[in-house]
Amino acid sequence: MSYRSIYRPGLFDGPSIVITGGGSGIGRCTAHELVSLGARVALVGRSMEKLKSVQAELSEAGGEATVHTCDIRDEEAVKATVAEIIKEQGAIHGLVNNAGGQFPARLEEITLKGWDAVIKTNLTGGFLFARECYVQWMKENGGGPIVNMVAEKVQAGQLSMLTKEGSIFTASMMRDLKGGLRTEHEHILGDLIAKGTPHSIDCPLLKIAYTHMAVAKGQR
């Protein structure tokens, strides 16, 4: 059975949307949602095999997608990838900053190297893609929405189970980045960056985190 969105058909007819982390999970589902509504998508990720698998799914559903491998922590690679997307898609009308790393660990076990790697993935990578999409296309072409995905919910008793993604810190920084962009470029960026609303999404990370919590409390 083909994918059916809750939104009206054709809602996104025409626009080209970049999705980082598009080879699996939330990125893959976002791609199916947008394509079902008429958008063209550019899937960005580390594994070409995964990207091509999602591309094939979208093609079978009648959608259009290009695939681009990129280390989002690498500034020059991000610049080149955004330029490649513009060349192949002809435009960038929106960006979904979805790529990130989840590596559950106790707070005292997180090394500086691990912390730096995750900050570069979850914060720096999002900044680089937002900047390059804006500089290389949006600035001179009417702007566009930028959606930043963050994992930020930590319940009481979970502080010792923070993941290596530094979820509280990076989520706060991404919110600050969004606020700064809104203040500086509200006249040109789309509503999604200015009025983004947090929602809970059930994903594998939550299951891993809750399993670790249960083990720590001796419940499993």
Q: Point out the least confidently predicted range of 69-73, 80-84, 149-153, 197-201.
A: 197-201
**Which domains can be identified in the chain, with CATH numbers?**
16-216 (3.40.50.720)
3-state secondary structure of 96: strand
3-state secondary structure of 57: helix
The residue ranking higher by pLDDT, 184 or 78, is 78
Give the confidence band of 219 by pLDDT, cuts at 50, 70, 90. Answer: low
How far apart, in whole angstroms, are the C-alpha atoms of residue 186 and residue 83?
24
pLDDT score for 96: 96
pLDDT score for 174: 55
Give the confidence band of 212 by pLDDT, cuts at 50, 70, 90. Answer: very low
3-state secondary structure of 5: coil
Single-letter code of the amino acid located at 151:
A
Instruction: Please give the distance of CA 109 from its chain centroid, rounded to a whole number.
Output: 26
Rounded to 5 degrees, φ, ψ at 90 are: 90, -10
Give the confidence band of 4 by pLDDT, cuts at 50, 70, 90. Answer: confident
Cβ pair 100, 21 in contact under 8 A: yes
pLDDT tens, residue by residue, 138-189: 999 999 999 998 765 544 444 333 443 344 444 445 555 555 555 444 444 4
pLDDT tens, residue by residue, 84-101: 999 999 999 999 999 987
